[in-house]
Structure 1
Amino acid sequence: MEPSAPTATSSYPVAREPPPRPPPQTAQLGQGPAQPRWKSWALGAFLTVLLTGGFAWGVYRARHSPRNLAFVITTYYLLAVLYCCLAKLDVLRRDDPARRRVRLAVWAVSVALATTIAWRFADSMPYLGLKIAVWVITAVAVGLAFYHFFGRGADGAGTRPEVALHEVSPEQRV
């Protein structure tokens, strides 16, 4: 008598080869949905024109007050530098050693911008308590930004383990 071969009706599931996975798309690599280049360029150009128009209007209104003019020019300059630093940070890979320096530059420019605006608002407050409140809120915001930018969880470190793309299920890729 020959030994009987296992049948498909047994209570144990039969292992099969998984189907081949499709090649990864842009959205699966974490770069977001693919957009035509002209749309991103048009949005950037529109926002730049809007910001520059606001700057020109601010300069026009502050032309007789050197203090107001200095505030408008400083704020515009810091926003432009922050935009450049964020664009550089977006281009760098996560494992690039220059990324930490650029992140530090982003944080420093953000702190300079926040303190410039807080100084201006605190100067316009009528009571000492309101002036102190403006500076306390600014200090808390800068501290939280520092914690989230450099502390635990910066760049996804310590929040989730990295998973290779071929180990990610199709539901997680969407």
Structure 2
Amino acid sequence: MDDCGKPFVKRELRLSLNPAPCGDDNPTTPTGAASDGGSSACTSAVALFVLGLNSAIAIYGSRHDPQSILFVAVSFFCVVLLFHLLRAFERTPPGSPRRLQVKAAIWVVTTALTVMFSGRVAPLMPAPVAAVVWSMAAVTILAGFYMFFVCPDAAEERPTSKVVAEGP
């Protein structure tokens, strides 16, 4: 019984990072594979446009600093590559050998981004804070490796997580 005197009702909720389009309850379809350009593609296009615009403004603002231009350009390329790899990972069926290759590529790109941003931020900080920045980067990289390659893949075991929620 809850505070109002009504009994709790248990319901089963299905959670997914990228929900399937309405009416598509096929658990064997890889996440995102059934939709060709739905809201996910629209959101990605808007995000890439904003990222591209921001990168262009940053390059224009640092047009006399080749090192900054290179940093912005490589960062932009890595983020676009990461978007592409994540999309490929979503479309790859669970259990496929290609899935592990795409995971490895995702980890390499995120590691490169982490090292690049840490290398850009750490020199601006006092030595103890720079050590914390590099320590956090190392922990993030190692945790990513552990989660990608050591822990079992939850998507391989079951397509959606089931959560029991209590409510009216």
Partner of 1:81: 81
Q: Say which one has the larger Rg.
A: 1
Partner of 1:91: 91
Q: Which amino acid aligns with 2:122?
A: A
Deviation at 1:42, TM superposition (A): 2.5
**TM-score of the pair, normalised by structure 2:** 0.71
CA contact (8 A) 2:94 2:155 kept: no
Relative to structure 1, the CA distance from residue 73 to residue 162 in structure 2 (aligned partners, 3 Å threshold; closer, same or farther) is closer
Partner of 1:167: none
Relative to structure 1, the CA distance from residue 75 to residue 36 in structure 2 (aligned partners, 3 Å threshold; closer, same or farther) is closer
Partner of 1:135: 134
Q: Which amino acid aligns with 2:59?
A: V
Deviation at 1:28, TM superposition (A): 5.5
Deviation at 1:64, TM superposition (A): 0.9
Listed as ranges, the gaps of 5+ residues in structure 1 are 1-24, 164-170
Q: Which amino acid aligns with 2:44?
A: G
**TM-score of the pair, normalised by structure 1:** 0.68
How many correspondences in the alignment?
A: 137
Q: CA deviation digits over 1:92-137, x for unaligned, max 9?
A: 1012111111110100011001000000001211x21111111001
Inter-partner Cα distance in structure 1 for 2:99 and 2:130: 36
Partner of 1:48: 48
Partner of 1:26: 24
Looking at secondary structure, tell me which structure has more strand per residue.
2
**Quick one: higher RCO (CA 8 Å, sep 6+), 1 or 2?**
2
Question: Within 5 Å, which residues of 2 pair with 1:96-111?
Answer: 96-111=96-111
Deviation at 1:50, TM superposition (A): 0.6
Q: Which amino acid aligns with 1:82?
A: L
Q: CA deviation digits over 1:130-152, x for unaligned, max 9?
A: 11111001001111111111112
Relative to structure 1, the CA distance from residue 122 to residue 155 in structure 2 (aligned partners, 3 Å threshold; closer, same or farther) is same
CA contact (8 A) 1:118 1:138 kept: yes
